Structure 1
Amino acid sequence: MSAPQETRSLLPWTADDPYVHALRTGRGPLFLRRSDGWLLPLDVERWCARPDEADLTVLARCEGAVLDVGCGPGRLVAELAARGRTALGIDVSEAAVAHTARLGGRALRRSVFQPLPRERRWGTALLIDGNLGIGGDPHALLDRLARLLAPGGLVIAETVPVDVDERVQVHVTDGRGTAGAPFPWARLGTPALLRHARVLGLAVDGQWSVEGRCFVALRTRSASSSAEPPNRTAVISSQRARKPSADSPVASR
């Protein structure tokens, strides 16, 4: 991603953005809205809660120092810190960074495409809660993460539970007339992510699903790493009912 795009990625997230208000209250409604009126619900309540069963399967697979890209209110970073793990969240929202700090996690207001601490020394990079969409260019995002990781490091990404591969312009809205500035976004199902991984030389280290959420672990080229040994788990499936989330689009209101 070019430098101008990195700068623009910080612009939609202002003090008056509906996302900021949602983080302050810990609840929605909150959506990503395309120009054609299509709405994607964002699960603010889950983001602001303690890690759930699906999140815990992600944390169990983390190796070494963990970079949570688009950490939001910081539930994963805070949980890792509570376990004594080295973890850093990055987010372009000042409110998200502040929320993470209040939970006891470390976070920086930074785009993933800007210079970051520990470059080429992270054991794991997380793209959870739809964050494969960051920047609207999954190939560039995955390539950047591969360059941030230590040799043999892991990318753990959450995918949309349908076969989709799209690039769109969206803005955050509360569905009641308040909206943020537009920005590029992407949505990928597992097949699309695996196509990008093959091109970039990332090896599939695991695929699993829990409570309707889907995850893929990808490993960078070299198997030699100082990160902790992988904690491998079997593919998990749960049929427990859950609230609408960022994986479940709804019609425009």
Structure 2
Amino acid sequence: MTYCVGLKLDRGLVFAADTRTNAGLDNVSTFKKLHVWEKPGERVITLLSAGNLAVTQAVVSILTEHIAGGLDGNRATLMNVETMFQAARLVGSAVREVRQIDGEALEASAENFFVTFILGGQIKGEEPRLFQVYSAGNFIEVSDDTPYLQIGEHKYGKPILDRVTHADMRLGEGAKMILLSFDSTLRSNLSVGLPIDLLLYNKDSFSSERQLRIEKDDPYFRKLSKAWSDALRDAFTEIEELEV
């Protein structure tokens, strides 16, 4: 399993993804699930992936190979489409292409084709945008009412996003909130694990330079986790008990 979050704010976008994959309790590995394609000064496109690892890697490989083979401009790729909507359609097409090739074999071997993606970024000439792409290749775009998307093991980290998110947050605030969402998920589900890949994208910067990986012993994450636990305990203590 995995956990990924994409957040759209007035100041830009925040993305985070864990790196754990497992095929049983004794077969746990680390794989990168946050992928970035960038043309400095023109576009930054980020893709988060959850689900069957072979399928998600195949989708990412197709998108990357199309870029390498589409330099002459005859093929639509993430590097030459004019809008993020068109980019979302490319991701959906790649999902359907993998399904056409591998779907029947996966079903015959009792494997599943379940995958989901969060696609976000900005192409010069439009605002930053954020989409969720499903196993069928269809997709939705994030709304102003709910400016975030989650994929994977999302239920444990959802409450803080519902309670705290507001569009005029600073990107650093958004990143803090998302890491707290991850902290809650890590405590409740062993299928999600560190390291966490994080990307903060400043609107109109067309640069992905604000990337980092949160490792197991990261001092900020440990401090954040302890402070949040202490604050929750204090809040719980201060609320009056139920009298029956």
TM-score (norm 1): 0.29
TM-score (norm 2): 0.30
Task: Answer with 1 or 2: which has the greater Rg.
Answer: 2
